[in-house]
A and B are shown apart, each in its own frame.
Chain A
Amino acid sequence: GAVVSQHPSWVICKSGTSVKIECRSLDFQATTMFWYRQFPKQSLMLMATSNEGSKATYEQGVEKDKFLINHASLTLSTLTVTSAHPEDSSFYICSAGSGAGAGYEQYFGPGTRLTVT
């Protein structure tokens, strides 16, 4: 159980276009979903936290107008990279979880590799 999927797994787009990445919890309801990005050979950095039905909370330094996050249901969150530029090329990973407190565990998607040309 606790499977999280992402679509697409990889995408190449031209500079200036927008790209939408989907994150789905397949067998559980995720009250909270998280979006991370990872540059080559670096650690994951949390971009934003989204709760179903409310606005996402962005980490410092992450442009909310550039990275649009929608969490319309308990099983789906989307990240849209608007007006993508080559520096947005990265590995984007979502995770989903429920509950809170000690012992809380997040389940990660397989990631989406975005290349902006």
Chain B
Amino acid sequence: SQQGEEDPQALSIQEGENATMNCSYKTSINNLQWYRQNSGRGLVHLILIRSNEREKHSGRLRVTLDTSKKSSSLLITASRAADTASYFCVTGANNLFFGTGTRLTVIP
């Protein structure tokens, strides 16, 4: 199945530090999305990057995409305690396939 795998599975950092999460996927894609999920809550769409884009910014978020390596990264700069959540990379257009997720903990 077209499923991404995030690395690391869990990440714990101090507030103010940067957090980097990586995602690898298996098949060719048209776009890749990143979502966040607070514990036991619904999903929030963060950013979408198309296959012809290499980098995209949104506020404190920076996403890169390397289609030759079938990988993407999500960088959260100047992290805050409120960024504590699980982050998923997602591939697919109509049917979405979720990666395993990275659990980020930002310590105040």
Contact = CB atoms under 8 A, between A and B. Distances in A.
Interface string A38-81: 00011111100100000000000000000000000000000000
A8 B101 CA distance: 26
B87 to A, nearest CB: 11
Interface string B14-49: 000000000000000011010100001111110010
B97 A46 contact: yes
Nearest to B42: A110
Contact of A101 (B30, B33, B95): B30
Interface residues of B, number: 24
B88 A44 contact: yes
Contact of B30 (A41, A102, A107): A102
Interface in A77-117: 91, 93, 95, 97, 100-111, 113
Contact of B94 (A6, A44, A49): A49
A102 B98 contact: no
A96 B42 CA distance: 13
Contacts, number: 62
A42 B6 CA distance: 12
Tier of interface size on chain A: 20 to 34
B50 interface: yes
Contacts of A44: 43, 88, 98
A32 interface: yes
A94 to B, nearest CB: 9
Given A43-B101, A44-B88, A113-B40, A105 B95 contact: no
Interface of B: 30-31, 33, 35, 40-45, 48, 50-51, 88, 93-101, 103
Counting from the closest, the 8 A-B pairs by CB-CB distance are A110-B42, A102-B30, A108-B43, A43-B98, A44-B98, A111-B42, A104-B93, A108-B42
